[in-house]
Every structure is written in structure tokens, then in C-alpha cells.
Amino acid sequence: MSRVQPCGTLGRVLFPLFRTLAPMSQTAAVVLAAGQGTRMRSSLPKVLHPLAGRPLVGHVLDALAPLAPARTVVVIGPGMEAVAQAVAPHPTVEQTERLGTAHAVLQARDALAGFTGTVLVLYGDTPLVPSATLERLVAAQTGPEAPAVVVLGFRPEDPTGYGRLLVGPEGLEGIVEEKDATSEQRALRLCNSGVMALEGRVAFELLAQVGNANAKGEYYLTDVVALARAAGRRCHVVESAAEDLLGVNSREDLATAERVVQERLRRAAMSAGVTLSAPETVFFSWDTRLGEDVTVGPFVTFGPGVTVASGVEIKGFCHLEACTVATGALIGPYARLRPGARIAENAHIGNFVEIKNATVETGAKVNHLTYIGDARIGSRANIGAGTITCNYDGFFKHHTDIGADAFIGSNSALVAPVSVGDGAMVGAGSTITSDVPAGALALTRAPQETRDGWARRFVERMRRLKR
């Protein structure tokens, strides 16, 4: 049984219109995401586990985007509303019983009714397949021989556990599971990834013929090759690198996939003009944007939503997330830019400084041991070591505004809401609770008391007691 679930009210209104009125592209996609992922030992659906800051299934959908599929349908299991939300606006269909991969693809039959182009079958837990590989699959299926099925194959270092692709003079002749293979077939290196391109005119007709006369009683997608061959149709193979077809079924697999995607992101950054002094220690998010001539030191982590303009230096051991850094800024070492941090041109953010939901304007300096939250730091202002914007009263967040050319002395606390005017100064060690006018000096400090000779007499007394 299949149930189409366009995501959200707008999706429920527009999806039927889209199916009726939109011109057909040459490609559609079915993404299988109904697996429970028991080996992950997690309450989170397997395809929602993050890879470079984005769910696994998000990487699959992103790889499809350059192909501009006419329709993309995601097959989910019962109770997977979180997956449906994550893949929006793509519609989902529910596989109420998990009876195998062919059965899963069949759940998309109604959603793809009338489609006659190439149907790609992908897996939500196989996130590293490049767009170029999917384009080659489509090109092979729509080529002169118009094969009914094109299977994506790969040659792993250790083929143990994978089905083997049997290739002959007329192309792909069959797929044999390892447990059913002869010793000669087990020696073959070309393996089945499960990713396929099917001719839309016959795809669901073939799938409907798949039986479940096997040990598991499941309907296997791989059987469509034998069914197509029996109907006199050709089947082909397209090969891809083994790392492109890594499936994530465990936490160990997820860590392996993270290593692969981070290597890709590092190479892409360096090719785009970024200097990474210790590439293996830098971790990117899938959407990190770095300009030319950015220099990144060792052990820097980029969370989602970071944009860094050209000519920025980010020193070692920094953490950036959902923030922007403008041209010429200097960040770190050991700085943390939290969501909403906006660092303007030539600003300096130094060691053990945390910025959250705040703007640091052009040329301002926040160089040491400081927390700036819910604030504006004006152009060329200088924030002394140990300064804190006290932005939270236990119930609400409040804003601190520091004007251009202001000077905040070390170890000051600015209790928001409060403003410090342009060119004003705050004396070191002050707690500021009222606005400071432009050009003024504000300080709150107990009078200093000096007792001559007290320290010398104290030391002498302690020494006598210790004898």
C-alpha cells in the first residue's frame, strides 16, 4: 500500500497540479529511505544522521538537483514524519511493510504515474554518489541501445558480502548474490551498488513481476535485471569509484563517510584558493563558503551556515557556526563565532573570545578573553581583556550598543540594556549599568587603600609562626 504525502499545506495543493500541468523532464528519482537503521542504535532515523552538518538523505537530494528531475519521491517508513519534513518539498510515500527493495520502489508507482523517462533509484543512506555519476547513468539508459536497466557497479578492495554483476558480450546478464554465487563468480570484482536507472515505460511493469521466492521472503530490486533479459531487453553497467558508493549502516560507516566528504571539501577549498596549513585537521560543513586567499590554521571547525570573504585569516583552534566574516578580518586563535556573529572588514577577534548574535564593525578589536553577545561593537572600538556583555537576566536577552572609537577597559561588565557612546571610555574593572554619553569616561571602582609596610610585616609574622 502506498500513500503520497506532499509536505505541508502548500505541497498538498500544488503537487497534484504539478503532476498534471508541469512539462515532463527526462528524469525522475525514487529515494529509498524507509530503513530503520537498527545497527546505528539510535532513535534518530538513519537517513537523518548528519554528514558534514547535513542529513544523509540531504546529500542524496543535493546530488540529484543538477539533473532537475521532473519528480523526486522519497519512500519512508511508518512514523517517519521527521524524514518527510527533512526532504520537503519533495513528496513522500510510505512503505507500510518492509518487504524488500523492489516492494519499496513500487510504493512510488502512483506518484510517478504517466512518467516515461528515466527513473533513478537511489538510497538515502548512500550519500556520496556524485551528480556526474548520476548523469552518466541517465545517459547510458537513454543511449542508442536504450537498455531497460542500467546498474551502477563498483570494485571494492574487499568484495565480500556484495552481489556480483555478471557481464557478457551483450552487457549485464545478471546479478548474483554472494551466498548464491559459484566460486568463479565470487572471484569477480565488479559489484552491485543497488543504484539503478530504469526505463520509465517498463519500470513498474518489471517491478510488479518480482517474486519473493527466496530465503528472506522479500522482493529484491536486483531481480529486474533477469526479468528484463527474459523480455528480450538489454541491461548495462556504469562503474563508479568505491568511495562514491559507501553505504552508511553503522556509526563506523558514518565516520568513514565523514572522512571521505571532508577530504572532498578540503580539496575543493584549496582548489578555490584557500590555504589550509594542516588540511587533515580542518573540518567543514557542507555549505561552508570561503573566499579566495583565506588562510585557515590547524584544528579549525566550520559548522553550518558560515560565509568567509576573501583575505581573511582564521588562526588555529577556532570554531565558527552560522556567522559571516568580511574581507581582511583576523580571527583567533581559539576564538568562537556563534550563530548571528557578523564580523566586518579588518576587525580583529582574538584568543578565547566568544561572539554571539553580535556585529563587530569595521576595524574594531576584541582581542582577549571576552564574551560579546547580543551587541553592536562600533567601528574602531577597542574591547579590553575580560570584558563581558551581560545580556541575559534569566528571562530575556538584552542588547548592548558600543559606539565607534569607544574604549572599554579590561575586566569590565556591561549590564544590558546599555549603550556606550561614540568615543566614550569605560575604566578597567567597571560594572556599567547606565548609558555612557559620547566622549565621556565612566568607571565604577572602590577607592584604593594603601597601607605602608603591611606586606613586609605580614610576611615576617608568618615566617615566625612557621618556625
Q: Is 179 annotated as a binding residue?
A: no
DSSP bridge partners of 94: 76
Q: Is 101 annotated as a binding residue?
A: yes
Q: Is 230 annotated as a binding residue?
A: no
Q: Is 143 annotated as a binding residue?
A: no
* Strand, helix or coil for residue 293: coil
Q: What is the H or E stretch that residue 250 is in?
A: none
Q: Is 249 annotated as a binding residue?
A: yes
Q: Is 411 annotated as a binding residue?
A: no
- 90 carries an active-site annotation: no
The amino acid that residue 367 corresponds to is N
Q: Is 35 annotated as a binding residue?
A: yes
**Can you tell me the distance from the alpha carbon of 214 to that of 422, in angstroms, rounded to the nearest whole number?**
79
Q: Is 392 annotated as a binding residue?
A: yes
Please tell me which residue in 319, 368, 398, 399 is annotated as part of the active site.
Answer: 368
Interior/surface letters 101-117, b for 16+ CB within 10 angstroms, e for the rest: bbbbbbbbbebbeebeb
Q: What is the 3-state secondary structure (H, E, C) of 110-152?
A: CCCCCCCCEEEEEECCCCCCCHHHHHHHHHHHCCCCCCCEEEE
Torsion angles phi and psi, residue 9, rounded to 5: -60, -45
Q: Is 153 annotated as a binding residue?
A: no
**Can you tell me the distance from the alpha carbon of 31 to that of 72, in angstroms, rounded to the nearest whole number?**
7
Q: Tell me the three cell numbers of residue 255.
A: 565516520
Q: Is 406 annotated as a binding residue?
A: no
Q: Is 404 annotated as a binding residue?
A: no
Query: Quick check: 317 and 337 in contact, CB under 8 A?
Result: no
Q: Is 391 annotated as a binding residue?
A: yes
Please enumerate, by residue number, every residue annotated as part of a binding site.
32-35, 46, 95, 100-101, 123-125, 163, 177, 192, 249, 338, 356, 371, 382, 385, 391-392, 410, 428, 445
Please enumerate, by residue number, every residue annotated as part of a binding site for acetyl-CoA.
385, 391-392, 410, 428, 445
Please enumerate, by residue number, every residue annotated as part of a binding site for UDP-N-acetyl-alpha-D-glucosamine.
32-35, 46, 95, 100-101, 123-125, 163, 177, 192, 249, 338, 356, 371, 382
Name the residues annotated as catalytic. 368
Please enumerate, by residue number, every residue annotated as part of a binding site for Mg(2+).
125, 249
